[in-house]
């Protein structure tokens, strides 16, 4: 049953990538969602208390997506748009950077004012 739920979540994420789209001059929301697919069970509270090694390895690709202020804001906006629709648990989302040693320099929250990110 867990496999079926995980597959459904991945399909929803892929569909959301098509809806949210991408920005040719910056961060593609599809790339963000793709990087976080292995983290789905952790972010949704369906897995262990810590993200898997596969999740962290994939999520570390986000470090490359935050080189400019524009990119950081786009990453933030993508997380705000997609997180709630997938049922991401805010506490788990905010813990991901420390568990996976991400250097995002942005607050990971579903309620961040992305326009204030520097």
Question: What's the CA gap between 61 and 21, in Å, rounded?
Answer: 19
Q: Which residues lie closer than 8 Å to 68 by C-beta, 6 or more apart?
A: 26
Question: What's the CA gap between 22 and 117, in Å, rounded?
Answer: 19
For the chain, give the mean pLDDT: 79
pLDDT at 8: 47
pLDDT at 47: 77
pLDDT at 26: 77
Q: What is the pLDDT of residues 16-62, one digit of tens each?
A: 444 344 444 577 889 889 999 999 999 999 978 999 999 999 999 88
What is 2-116's CATH topology?
A: Hydrophobic Seed Protein (1.10.110)
Residues shown for the chain: 118
Question: What's the CA gap between 25 and 89, in Å, rounded?
Answer: 30
pLDDT at 111: 73
Question: What's the CA gap between 80 and 4, in Å, rounded?
Answer: 26
Q: What percent of the chain has pLDDT over 90?
A: 30
Greater model confidence, 108 or 3: 108
Residue 57 tokens read as: 């390895």
pLDDT at 48: 82
pLDDT at 94: 87
């Amino acid at each position: 049953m867990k496999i079926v739920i995980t597959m459904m979540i991945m399909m929803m994420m892929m569909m959301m990538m098509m809806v949210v789209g991408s920005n040719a001059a910056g961060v593609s929301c599809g790339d963000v969602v793709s990087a976080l697919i292995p983290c789905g069970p952790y972010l949704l509270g369906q897995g262990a208390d810590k993200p898997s090694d596969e999740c962290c390895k994939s999520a570390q690709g986000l470090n490359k997506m935050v080189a400019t202020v524009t990119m950081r804001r786009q990453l933030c906006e993508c997380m705000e748009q997609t997180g709630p629709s997938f049922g991401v648990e805010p506490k788990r989302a905010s813990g991901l950077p420390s568990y996976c040693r991400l250097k995002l320099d942005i607050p990971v929250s579903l309620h961040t004012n992305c326009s204030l990110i520097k």
